[in-house]
Structure 1
């Protein structure tokens, strides 16, 4: 048999070495990573996504999940998505401001009133435009998962007013808007990778931090922090991201399945997150949780106009004004 006939029978072209029309779909294992705890709603969402993809693709597309900063800090995970070293990840939206300044708009303190206003912004034109804007920095934004409203915690005393924050050493995310806001409130803030935070709080490097109550509980911060002030100062979403080349490698059929699973997972994760704060509060009787009055909250928010202007100066007023208009509908 001649070589050309043999190759033809195998269904391979000589020039391109491509498969014949009877294409063989290869299995894909997506490396998915995050910095939160293995008990977090984000981890459970990745597990849900893995099961859904496995079922809907007959096991061809699955996830291998790396929780708790195993593959790096949140900033390092974003960089790994860009480089293709990690396929998927979710991180705090505040981290993305360092890669795409438009995300700083979500970091303005006391911007959102409630979850209804949050979802109108994130699920509408504004949020989808933000996700789309990640294309220009080598990332494909998929959805906004929920990290939740952020609260102030510390191990020193009950904090009810900015005056109570004077001089307190506080951990913030690596985000200049967050740092500026807490300085304006009188704290002494410094950034630190989230994966290093428990040890820093335990050793007294920091006396205070801020974040969602459910994450506080998942990370066992209640072992080293005894006071929570319910400030709801920032709503923190978890943008879900994928490496663009990985997404583009899917067939059109697989993209359709993947997009459907992403949407279902976002709904699943948000439902978990809504219940997670209540569960955390119920399981931390040793922590003093202080609900601030409207007057006390106003003492915090009244110090934020300069932060509003700082963000507008960085990214232009248009997106900030759009968000405020949507919230006030």
Structure 2
């Protein structure tokens, strides 16, 4: 009797382990039965790094609505803000997507670069001068290079959204030349390319969780930070940073990614539903992000921040010192990515 009981317990534990493993391998949002005509039903999970007031989140909502509509209710999407499925850690969240522990995400290539530095190619300083130029580059061979790189890492590319051009704020002085950067302690993402760039132009870059930036500025632990206007505004940094320099130094798109094994498991019909919904979501997110940026910038200026837009000649003073940086990252990126994302004349 005792032996039989032990055997049954072992069988139950083994079954539980198999179910748990299968859940991990197929993603947090697994299938949940079929319709009367035999079509698969799905429950999927989608994470974004930003909060519920962001265009990232509203675009994810639109994506879910389109999935539900086009699949006649077979595809359900649950959205999590602030990388809640990975305890607020964006890089860990991307690893979950790659491993199949979740299904979809919006993430910057900067976050992917925490796993493989090649993903940071598109944000190379001064490669693009506008969001339109950066977006266009990702619609052709540049985007195809990313599709291949993502596939090699277990992610199906469903197109690009847009965080925007990254700017710099500080509490010391207007930034117009590299000399104005000297000695400024600026918070940056934990990203080797940005660390190298800011050291090259004379700043003192440091990393910390973005949630700590506002308080760190208040307490004088750091002098400033860099981010797109949307992020600066959403974090209310204009309340503690009197100077904003608009130099459009780095184009930051968003990758709408899906676990590749999950994507490949879908029928052709369901793959098309996912792709159509993703295209609508990305188009909406980009348009909304661009429209809101000018509104938020105006509100920031009205609240007292001094926004200075650098001239082409001033930007060139920063760019002129970057030849060694471009050479270093050409070796890291390889020929295909370097051809697309190392600035012209510096290949």
Structures share fold, TM-score greater than 0.5: yes
**C-alpha contact (below 8 Å) 2:145/2:336 kept by paired residues:** no
Q: Which residue of 1 aligns with 2:332?
A: 314
Alignment size in residue pairs: 310
Q: CA 1:259–1:313 in structure 2 vs 1: closer, same or farther (change >3 Å)?
A: same
After superposition, residues 86-97 of structure 1 pair within 5 angstroms as 86-97=102-113
Q: Which residue of 2 aligns with 1:211?
A: 227
What secondary structure does 1:89 align onto?
A: strand
Deviation per CA, 1:19-77: give whole Å up to 9, x if none.
99965434322211111122111111101111111111122212211112333222121
**1:108 to 2:124 alignment:** yes
Q: Which residue of 2 aligns with 1:65?
A: 79
1:230 shift after superposition = 0.3
Q: Which residue of 1 aligns with 2:246?
A: 230
What secondary structure does 1:32 align onto?
A: strand
For normalisation by structure 2, the TM-score amounts to: 0.82
Q: Which residue of 2 aligns with 1:160?
A: 176
Q: Which residue of 1 aligns with 2:313?
A: 295
What secondary structure does 1:234 align onto?
A: strand
**1:259 to 2:275 alignment:** yes
What secondary structure does 1:113 align onto?
A: coil
**1:46 to 2:64 alignment:** no
Quick check: 250-259 or 316-325, which moved more? 316-325
Q: Which residue of 1 aligns with 2:48?
A: 34
Q: CA 1:56–1:234 in structure 2 vs 1: closer, same or farther (change >3 Å)?
A: same
Quick check: 19-28 or 151-160, which moved more? 19-28
Two-structure CA RMSD over aligned residues (Å):
2.4
* 5+ long unaligned stretches in structure 1: 1-18
1-structure distance, mates of 2:320, 2:238: 29
Deviation per CA, 1:229-276: give whole Å up to 9, x if none.
001000000111111232233222111111111111111111111112
The 4+ residue runs of structure 1 with deviation greater than 6 A are 19-22
**C-alpha contact (below 8 Å) 1:147/1:273 kept by paired residues:** yes
1-structure distance, mates of 2:338, 2:41: 43
Q: Which residue of 2 aligns with 1:144?
A: 160
Q: Which residue of 1 aligns with 2:289?
A: 273
Quick check: 187-196 or 197-206, which moved more? 197-206
- Equivalent of residue 246 in structure 1, options 241, 247, 262: 262
1-structure distance, mates of 2:214, 2:100: 29
1-structure distance, mates of 2:63, 2:326: 37
1:148 shift after superposition = 0.5
What secondary structure does 2:84 align onto?
A: coil
1:141 shift after superposition = 2.1
Deviation per CA, 1:173-211: give whole Å up to 9, x if none.
121111100001111112233344344434433221111
2-structure distance, mates of 1:20, 1:267: 31
1-structure distance, mates of 2:74, 2:215: 40
**C-alpha contact (below 8 Å) 1:132/1:140 kept by paired residues:** no
Q: CA 1:296–1:54 in structure 2 vs 1: closer, same or farther (change >3 Å)?
A: same
Deviation per CA, 1:263-305: give whole Å up to 9, x if none.
1111111111111210111221121111112222122111211
